[in-house]
Amino acid sequence: MSNLKLETQKDTIQYLKLTINRAGNISLYGDISIIYVPVQGSPIEIGLSKGIGVYTTINKRNIAVRLNTSGKKLTSGKLKVQYMSNDENKKPVVLCEGELDIK
């Protein structure tokens, strides 16, 4: 996972943009979960995108996930991002993860 970037549109709508990189001879398929960790307080999930595929025909996939910030712009803390397998018959496996400090 690379190129994590927080973008703001219309002053309060925020997106996390990122790239999932793939190597090898298998496709990846899973869900992206984004957790906001404030400087003070409890972590909360503010983004979820299901069914993201990165197939063998491409080496990377650029993704933008709209964040549910209840109309408040994130200005501090950090975002923890995980791309996890989503096979209903198996326990989810973290395929890759990343963090972005918000300043």
Tens-digit pLDDT profile for residues 60-96? 999 999 999 887 888 899 999 999 998 778 888 899 9
Q: Could you give the dihedral angle defined by the CA atoms of residues 34, 6, 52 and 69, in that order, rounded to the nearest 10 degrees?
A: 50
* Residues 39 and 76: beta-carbon distance below 8 Å: yes
For 2-102, CATH gives 2.60.40.10
- Domain boundaries along the sequence of the chain: 2-102
Tens-digit pLDDT profile for residues 6-62? 998 887 789 999 999 988 898 889 999 999 999 998 999 999 999 999 999 998 999
DSSP category for residue 91: -
Contacts of 67 (CB under 8 A, 6+ apart): 14, 15, 16, 34, 36, 46, 47, 74
